[in-house]
Amino acid sequence: MLRKFFPQDKNYVLEEAQLSLEKPLLAYLVDFVKVQYLLQHNPLGVVDETVQRIQHHQSDDTSKLHEFYMVLAGIFRYRYYSDNQLTFIFSGEEPFVRYQYEWESEFKKWTKALCLHKNFLMGVLELTVFFPQEAEARFIGERLAVVAAGFFEVKIHPQKGIQKKSA
């Protein structure tokens, strides 16, 4: 377990499934964010320096999004597997494959929903297309975690992990 987000966070098979999909899902996230940014903030298709940088961006370095990905993975485990970590699958599927499918489909739904928030779009673009300094990248990464915490109505405490946000 890389990081326990709540006391019962012990589903190692689910975590391995999530980690195995990190690279393709983060590539999907970056591509989706680029398209959504252009659709939402440049509907006329005016090409300027910023738009060109976004359109021509080819890097597959998503390392600056790793911590954000881990937060989303922890939130998924907290929301769907916090009370019963090990479930019986009667369809004959391997748990690893089942978890991969569930995680991938939920991650893509969350990506679409998070892209409605300008701070999320800007944060992902700043971390992947516009390459900030290391200290700045950490600040932007923390901003993404705050957006996620607000979106999912949870608090992410450094020592206590994920907790429901109190009213």
Count Cβ atoms below 10 Å from residue 77 Cβ, excluding itself: 24
pLDDT score, position 2: 58
Residue 21 dihedral angles phi and psi, to the nearest 5°: -100, 5
Taking residues 19-31, what's their average pLDDT? 97
pLDDT at 107 over 70: yes
Residue 58: HSE in the Cβ half-sphere, 13 Å Cα cutoff: 1
